[in-house]
Amino acid sequence: MPKPLAIELRKRAVAAYEAGNSSYDVIAEQFAVSRRALQRWVVLQRDAGTPEPAPAAGGRFSPVAMKELRRLVESTFELTAQYNSGVAKAHRVHRSSIIRALRRAGYVFKKSGRGQRNKIVLM
């Protein structure tokens, strides 16, 4: 999802519309935004008192236990299999969940030379 447009632009566009001189279409074209975006900003201004965007939300919580994952990184290469067979039997996770958790913890994947294993390194 793209980042929200600048708050200053939102405020100027809403102020121009609320001045009452033009329609949504004219103001939206003047500020190079969509008509629907301008309508949402005006509603936000009326309801919340400001056209600022809501804070980012959503996403899914990862059930990966970071302490267990760090311990496994130090001791083994087959992380997902080891993690799922260990303490975390109640919360089996997919390989992609392990990779995302490793990235959040600051680990990176170092590619080795030809025929050698890749390494997981804390950066």
CA distance 49 to 28: 20
Above pLDDT 90, what percent of the chain? 33
Please report how many Cα atoms fall inside a 13 Å half-sphere around the Cα of residue 53, on the Cβ side: 14
What distance lies between CA 46 and its chain's CA centroid?
28
Do 75 and 39 belong together in one domain?
Answer: no
Is 55 domain-assigned? Answer: no
Is 61 domain-assigned? Answer: no
CA distance 30 to 24: 10
Q: CB neighbours (10 Å) of residue 86?
A: 13
Is 1 domain-assigned? Answer: no
pLDDT at 90 over 70: no
Per the structure, the count of domains in the chain is 2
pTM attached to this predicted model: 0.48
Residue with tokens 């236990």: 65
Do 71 and 31 belong together in one domain?
Answer: no
What's the domain range around 39?
A: 7-48
pLDDT at 117 over 60: no
pLDDT at 112 over 90: no
Is 53 domain-assigned? Answer: no
Do 90 and 116 belong together in one domain?
Answer: yes
